[in-house]
């Protein structure tokens, strides 16, 4: 299976509110599978549809530990039904903002309802890393990035460095095409 190319910040696609999925078709299932492949290859523990240029309310996640059985989730039209008052802080990163990290505080526990890839309504309770990951991914579906929680100075510095990186990437792929 081929992988998606991951959309890098800054990009308008990462700032959009994504639309709900009205029907779970084979196309949606194959987007989910391809997103999982892309996430595992990166490697990452979560990936939201807008990060691969698909502006739909869907994300994939697998927070299982290395060398343990994988626990892949495909979550469609996810909704957070409850969050705990207790908060935790995790150092977050993002496949769309590689090599930058920030300490972000979020509720420690959540209840999530969504559709799975078979179109069934499911509800999950998550805590720890999974709870943080789900909240990070749902933010993506609303056009929010983890750097939006950092101070504007820090966010500006990261964005400037990312712009530079994207320019370099574009130059590299251009010289690749003409064989220089």
C-alpha 137/C-alpha 148 separation (Å) is 14
For Zn ion, the binding residue among 6, 94, 138, 158 (CB under 5 A) is 94
Residue 95 C-beta: closest distance to Zn ion, Å: 6
Residue 132 C-beta: closest distance to Zn ion, Å: 11
Structure tokens at 13: 């696609």
C-alpha 166/C-alpha 36 separation (Å) is 24
Spatial neighbors of 140 by CB under 8 A, at least 6 apart, are 14, 48, 49, 50, 51, 59
| Strand segments (E) across 73-155 | 73-83, 87-92, 102-107, 109-115, 121-127
Which range touches Zn ion (CB under 5 A), out of 5-13, 79-87, 91-99, 109-117?
A: 91-99
CB closer to Zn ion, 24 vs 44: 44
137 included as an active-site residue: yes
CB closer to Zn ion, 6 vs 31: 6
Residue 17 C-beta: closest distance to Zn ion, Å: 16
C-alpha 96/C-alpha 164 separation (Å) is 14
CB closer to Zn ion, 42 vs 83: 42
Which range touches Zn ion (CB under 5 A), out of 54-62, 88-96, 106-114, 126-134?
A: 88-96
Q: What is the DSSP letter of 65?
A: P
Query: φ and ψ at 143, to 5 degrees?
Result: 75, 20
Q: Which of 92, 117, 130, 137 is catalytic?
A: 137
Q: Any contact of residue 138 with Zn ion (CB under 5 A)?
A: no
Q: How many residues belong to the site for Zn ion (CB under 5 A)?
A: 1
Residues 76 and 21 sit within 8 Å (Cβ to Cβ): yes
Active site residue ranges: 137
Residues in contact with Zn ion by CB under 5 A are 94
């Amino acid at each position: 299976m081929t992988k998606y190319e991951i959309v890098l910040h800054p990009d308008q696609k990462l700032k959009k509110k994504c639309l709900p999925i009205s029907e779970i078709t084979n196309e949606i299932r194959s987007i989910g599978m391809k997103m999982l492949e892309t996430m595992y290859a990166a490697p990452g523990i979560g990936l939201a549809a807008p990060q691969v240029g698909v502006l739909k309310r869907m994300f994939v996640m697998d927070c299982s530990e290395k060398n343990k059985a994988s626990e892949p989730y495909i979550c469609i039209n996810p909704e957070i039904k409850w969050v705990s008052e207790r908060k935790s802080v995790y150092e977050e990163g993002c496949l769309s903002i590689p090599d930058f990290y920030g300490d972000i505080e979020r509720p420690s526990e959540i209840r999530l309802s969504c559709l799975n890839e078979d179109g069934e309504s499911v509800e999950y309770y998550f805590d720890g890393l999974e709870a943080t990951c789900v909240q990070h991914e749902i933010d993506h579906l609303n056009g929010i990035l983890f750097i939006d929680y950092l101070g504007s100075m820090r966010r500006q510095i990261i964005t400037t460095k990312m712009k530079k990186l994207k320019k370099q990437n574009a130059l590299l792929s251009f010289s690749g095409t003409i064989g220089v």
